[in-house]
Amino acid sequence: MTIRFIAACRLPMPWATFTMHGFEDEATGKEHVALTLGDVSGGEPVLGRVHSECLTGDALFSMRCDCGYQLQAALKRIAEEGRGVLLYLRQEGRGIGLLNKIRAYNLQDQGADTVEANERLGFGADMRRYDICTPMLDHLGVTGLKLMTNNPRKVDALTRDGVNVTERVPLTTGLNPHNEHYLSTKAGKLGHMMALDDFIQAQDVDRDR
C-alpha cells in the first residue's frame, strides 16, 4: 500500500472545527482525506464513517441518492460525540468514476436500476476498495471504529483489511421521492440493512446549506 500523509490543517465546519488530513495514494494518484475531531488516537473505539465520494450528492445537492445527507449526518454526530473520524475516499460512483456514473444514471433514467446500470456498462455492482483505510487509520492512531453505515459488506471488507470495527451504527437519513427506488434496490440487491420506515424524511432534515 502506497498511502502517504502530506499535510493537515484546521477545517471549520457548521458543526465543529475538524482537522483535515491529506493523503496521497502513490499508486493511483488519488488524493484522500480524513477529517478528525478530538483525540482519536488509542483509547476507546472512535465513532467513524468511511464515506465514498459522490460529487452529485455530497457537493451538488443531488436527491438521487442518500450520500449528501449521510455525510452531513455523520459529521453532525461526530460533533455531538466530540470525538470521531470521517475518511473521505475518492472512489466516485462505487469506484467506476464520475463520467461512468453519469452514463449509469442515464441508463437509470431509461429504467435500469443502480445495479443493472453498472452491469450493462461492464462493471461490477460495487468496484470499491477499502485497503487504503488501514494506513490512514494507522497514521491517525485509530485502533477501533464504531462505524456509521448501513452496508454490512463494507463492514466485512474493512474487517478483512485489518480494521477493527467494534460496532455498526445505522445511518438512515435522506429518504425522498427521488431516491426511494434507489434505496429499495440497495436494500434488496446490495444487502444494505435499512427499512424505509427507519428513515428520517429528507424534508425533515436540515441540510445546513
Ligand X SMILES: Nc1nc2c(ncn2[C@@H]2O[C@H](COP(=O)(O)OP(=O)(O)OP(=O)(O)O)[C@@H](O)[C@H]2O)c(=O)[nH]1
Residues that bind ligand X (CB under 6 A): 52-54, 65, 67, 70, 91-94, 96, 101, 104, 114, 118, 149-151, 154, 171, 186, 192
Query: Is 30 known as a binding-site position?
Result: no
**Residue 96 interacts with which of ligand X, Zn ion, none, CB < 5 to 8 Å by class:** ligand X
Cell of 149: 453505515
Ligand-binding annotation for 54, yes or no, is: yes
- Given the rule CB under 5 A, which of 16-24, 50-58, 155-163, 193-201 is the region that contacts Zn ion? 50-58
Structural Rg of the chain based on CA atoms:
17
Listed in sequence order, the residues at least 6 apart from 151 whose beta carbon sits closer than 8 Å to its beta carbon are 190, 191, 192, 193
Q: Which stretch binds Zn ion (CB under 5 A): 51-59, 95-103, 132-140, 152-160?
A: 51-59
Distant-in-sequence, close-in-space partners of 84: CB < 8 Å, separation ≥ 6:
36, 37, 38, 40, 46, 47, 48, 49, 77, 78
d(CA 24, CA 37) in angstroms, rounded, equals: 21
**CB nearer Zn ion, residue 36 or residue 91:** 91
**Residue list 61-80, contact with Zn ion (CB under 5 A):** 65, 67
Question: No. of H helices and E strands in the chain?
Answer: 6, 9
21, interface contact from ligand X, Zn ion, none, CB < 5-8 Å by kind: none
The residues assigned a catalytic role are 126, 128
53 is in an annotated binding site: yes
Measure Cα distances from 59 to 41, 63, 96, 145, 198 in Å: 29, 11, 18, 26, 25
Nearer to Zn ion, 48 or 174 (CB): 174
Determine the length of the chain.
209
Interacting partner of 151 out of Zn ion, ligand X, none (Cβ under 5 to 8 A depending on kind): ligand X
Q: Is 50 annotated in some ligand binding site? A: yes
Over the range 40-73, which residues count as b (16 or more CB within 10 Å of their CB) and which as e?
beeeebbbbbbbbbbbbbbeeebbbbbbbbbbbb
Question: Which of ligand X, Zn ion, none has residue 114 at its interface (CB below 5 to 8 Å by kind)?
Answer: ligand X
Q: Give the amino acid at 80.
A: E
- Establish whether 67 is an annotated binding residue: yes
* Binding-site residues from annotation for Zn(2+): 54, 65, 67
* Binding-site residues from annotation: 49-54, 65, 67, 70, 92-94, 114, 149, 154
* Binding-site residues from annotation for GTP: 49-53, 70, 92-94, 114, 149, 154
Q: Please report, as ranges, the residues that interact with Zn ion according to CB under 5 A.
A: 54, 57, 65, 67
